Every structure is written in structure tokens, then in C-alpha cells.
Amino acid sequence: MVVRGVPHRIAKDAWWLDDTDPPKGVRAGPILIVALFLADTLMWGLRPGLGLALWLVAMGAAIALTVVKTTDARRLLKASAVLVVAVLPLVEIVQFSTVMIALLGLLAFGVIITTDKWNMADILRAIGRIPGYGVVQTVRDAFAMRVSAPSKGSLRGVLFDWALPVGVGGVFLILFATANPLVDQWMLAIAHLEPNFLPRIERVIFWGLLALAIWPLLRLTTMMPALMRARPARKRSFQSGFLNERSVRRALVVFNLIFLIQTTLDVGYLWGGVALPEGMTYAEYAHRGAYPLLATALLAGVFALLTQPYLGAGSGMRRLLYLWIAQNVVLVISSILRLDLYVDFYGLTRLRFAAFVWMTVVALGLVLIIMQLMGRQTVGWFFQRAFGLGLLAIYLCNLVNIDGHIARHNLADDRDNDYYLCGLSEGAAPAIRAHQVAIGREICDPYRVQVSQRTDWREWGYRNARLHRSLATMEIEQ
């Protein structure tokens, strides 16, 4: 294949335009067409649901086809497990976070199945580079399409001669027919076609944007060397007049003493049952301390990471740091108890539920810092596991009907917050409906206590099906 006016390296990557077999796997061009067809069949004009999840799994199979000649069973099983786990929350419910998790799982699938490197840092680096490098690869492939004409008279030559005028001309006709009713009528009169023969412009745009997103995933084999290339390590020495071995030692002593006072007060008032001063309620004590103490623990974690180079060779400063981090863990647990007391008084909300989750993650993150210090691991070791911990928390939250839990908690305590409950999503509908049946009156407008109907199997969602089943069970019991 001869490519004129294009660098040799770009031309060499454009294997999919040649007559010969691609170096690895099945050609990307036919796979792209099938992927667009499946996307149109499973998603266009429908509410996102099971169809989106199935399409992402199909995209995983499409990526696997491009590397089928080089991958092995172990790598395929590991990558498939990652993809299935990532798509499961999408089957539960389609929302922004579940879509992001599924897309991240698809990218991870592509990286794992394309490379034989299993280092987590390399995989995360490659995933982060795919969007930017994918744009570059798409542009390169677009330039590489300027190939020399095949032999005159051959079938391939006829196809190449008419590809440009028919393809681009057809796009222009569709655009003109959409914009000009006269052109639309002429085309229909000439071809005697049904009025809905031509696709809507929105559908064509959907195909185009999706093709641009899919193409880099089918070219991962070509992109992988660049995606996996490690940047030269650069030593970054953090120098500060406030951070040195002497200042860190004195700071740890002072911080431990200050935190010891707060820890003692919490142990006495929250855990030991000591009576609060006159005029102060447990709700006030809990509310004023929950979030500030969480911020304190976060700052303490950052300080613990920054001061590690200044701990010296002795174990004395390390013990001080261990003691201080342990006090921070107790501090976060106290914050959770404070928030629990506040929720008992004022009810549960989405923000307070998120605060419970965030506090738990922070406490476990502090434990990770202790593990990192005791194992003499690098700060990068901590960040990798902290990232995984945060991702796990988000993943698990997407499998929980949070609004349903909030409604059940607040209605069980007969709290007067109907306005907030009626503004929750359809996940709260069964709990609200059951409460209304129990008290014999409606607390929300009927349209707010409904669950959306999914008439097409491609729109099906597991949570939506469970909510309908719960409502149907209540109707039968009545």
C-alpha cells in the first residue's frame, strides 16, 4: 500500500485499509460497522437500560476480536471479569455514576486484554491516556486514508472510485432533505420511498459521534506502546522552611496533645455517657462537631503524607506519627457517632448518607497510611489503594437504593419531613406507598409516588423491576 503525503509511520498503522490481513485480530472497519448497528438497535430512541449494558459487553467482544491472535485465556478471563463487574451497577440502574463505572471497566478491559503487563500503575496510566491518545490515533488514521487508487477495472477499484461521491454525496442529500422540504419531496417522488426512509439528522449525528468514540478502542493494539510508555522519573524534592526533622518532631508532640484533649472529651460525652453542660443538647454537640472533625482528619492525613521524608532514621518519630493517626481514626469514628446522633434527631438525608460513607472511607484511608508506614511502602502505594478504596465505595453505593433507605428510616421514626420525602426519586415510592396505606392518608401527590414504566426489554432495569414488584405485592396484600 502506498500512501502519498503521509508520514511512513502513519501509513504503516493504517493496516485496515490494505488488502492484507491486519497484524493482529480482525479488521477494525467491519467491527466498527457492526458496533454502530448494535448501538442503533439497542439504544436509539429508547430510555437507557439493559440495552446499554448489553452494548458495552458487545464492545468488549469487539475489542477482543481485534487482538484475538495475540491474547491468551488467562488474560481474557481476567479482563472479562473486570468488565462484567463494572457493568453490573448499570444493570441495576442507569445513572451518571454507573455509566462512568461501566465505561471505566470497558477501558480497563481493553488495556488488560491488549497488554501482558499486570502492574496496576501501568494499567491506570494507560486508561488515563486513552482519550487523548485516541483522538491522535483517529486523526492519524483519517490522514492515512489518502491511499493510491487500486487497479482500474477491478471490483475494489470501482468501490474506491464511487466511495467518496456516493458516501459524502449521500450525507449532503440527507442534510438538504432535512433542511429543505422541496428536496425531500423530490427525492421521495423519484425513489417512490416511504416518508420515513431517510434517517433523521439527530440519528446521523449519533452515528458519527459514536464512531469517533468507538474507533480508538478498536486501535488499542497500535496505541498500546505509547499508552504503556513510562515517563522518565523526575526527582521532586519538596523543600520548605517549615518542614524539617525538628519542626515535624515538635509538631507531632503538639498535635498529639491537642488531639488527646478532643479524644478525651469525645470518649467522655459520646461513649461514656457523661452529662453535657447545662443548656447544650446532644443534637447540638453532634451537629457542630461532625463535619469539622472530618475536615480535621483529612488535613491530618495530608500532613502525615507530606512529613514522611522528615521522620528520620529513628523509630521515636514514627511512633508519634502512629499515635497521631490512630487518634485521627478515633476522631473519625466519633464523627460518625456524632452524625448518627444528629440523624436520630433530625432525620436522614442524601447529604448525611453521603457523609456516613465519606467518613468511613476517610477512616479506612487513615488505616491505609498506617499500613503504608509500617510496611515502608511508597506514597504511590498508598494513592493506588486509596483510589481503589474510593472507587469501591462509589461502586457499592450504586448497588444500594439510597432514597428507599432514606424514606424507610425517616418514616419509621414518624418524622415530619414529608416535603423532603416527596422530592426523592422513584426508589422511595414503595416505602412512601406502604406508609400511606398504614396511616390511611396520602402524604405526597399521587404522581410523585409512581415508578416509571419500561415497556421495551432494552429499557429494563433490575431496580425498576424490584420497585414494581414491591408495589404489586402491596396491591395484592390490600
Residue range 338-380, pLDDT digits in tens: 888 888 888 899 988 998 999 899 899 999 999 998 888 888 8
For residue 32, pLDDT over 80 is answered with: yes
pLDDT for 416 equals: 61
For residue 92, pLDDT over 70 is answered with: yes
For residue 159, pLDDT over 70 is answered with: no
- Model pTM score: 0.78
> How far is Cα 402 from Cα 367, in angstroms, rounded to an integer?
27
Whether residue 405 contacts residue 412, with contact meaning beta carbons closer than 8 Å, is answered with: no
Beta bridge partners of 147: 3
For residue 16, pLDDT over 80 is answered with: no
pLDDT for 177 equals: 61
406 Cβ partners below 8 Å, 6+ apart?
348, 349, 350, 353, 421, 424, 428
> How far is Cα 441 from Cα 444, in angstroms, rounded to an integer?
9
Q: What is the DSSP string of 219-247?
A: GHHHHHHHHHPPPPP-------SS-SHHH
For residue 2, pLDDT over 50 is answered with: no
Please state which of the ranges 237-246, 288-297, 403-412, 422-431 shows the lowest mean pLDDT.
Answer: 237-246
Share of the chain above pLDDT 90, in %: 26
pLDDT for 465 equals: 93
Select the more confidently predicted residue: 3 or 355: 355
Whether residue 59 contacts residue 80, with contact meaning beta carbons closer than 8 Å, is answered with: no
For residue 61, pLDDT over 50 is answered with: yes
For residue 9, pLDDT over 50 is answered with: no
For residue 302, pLDDT over 70 is answered with: yes
For residue 89, pLDDT over 70 is answered with: yes
> How far is Cα 448 from Cα 427, in angstroms, rounded to an integer?
11
For residue 5, pLDDT over 90 is answered with: no
The CA-atom distances, in angstroms, between 368 and each of 53, 91, 365, 388 are 34, 32, 5, 11
pLDDT for 226 equals: 84
pLDDT for 163 equals: 63
Residue range 209-266, pLDDT digits in tens: 999 999 999 988 888 888 888 766 555 554 555 677 888 888 888 888 988 888 888 7
What is the overall mean pLDDT for the chain? 79
What's the grid cell of residue 166? 456516493
Q: What are the residue boundaries of the structural domains of the chain, listed by start?
A: 8-228, 245-398, 403-477
pLDDT for 404 equals: 94
pLDDT for 6 equals: 40
Mean local confidence (pLDDT), 399-425: 86
pLDDT for 190 equals: 58
Please state which of the ranges 80-84, 137-141, 181-185, 390-394 shows the lowest mean pLDDT.
Answer: 181-185
Please state which of the ranges 137-141, 311-315, 357-361, 428-432 shows the lowest mean pLDDT.
Answer: 311-315
Please state which of the ranges 19-28, 67-76, 101-110, 287-296 shows the lowest mean pLDDT.
Answer: 19-28
pLDDT for 353 equals: 92
Residue range 437-455, pLDDT digits in tens: 888 888 888 877 889 888 8
pLDDT for 430 equals: 92
3-state SS assignment for residue 388:
helix
pLDDT for 338 equals: 81
Please classify residue 106 by burial: count the beta carbons closer than 10 Å to its beta carbon, then call 0-12 exposed, 13-18 middle and 19+ buried: buried
Share of the chain above pLDDT 70, in %: 74
Select the more confidently predicted residue: 212 or 22: 212
Residue range 161-194, pLDDT digits in tens: 666 676 667 666 666 666 666 665 665 565 554 5
Enter the DSSP assignment of 5: T
For residue 433, pLDDT over 50 is answered with: yes
pLDDT for 8 equals: 43
* Residue among 344, 361, 360 at smallest CA distance from 409: 344
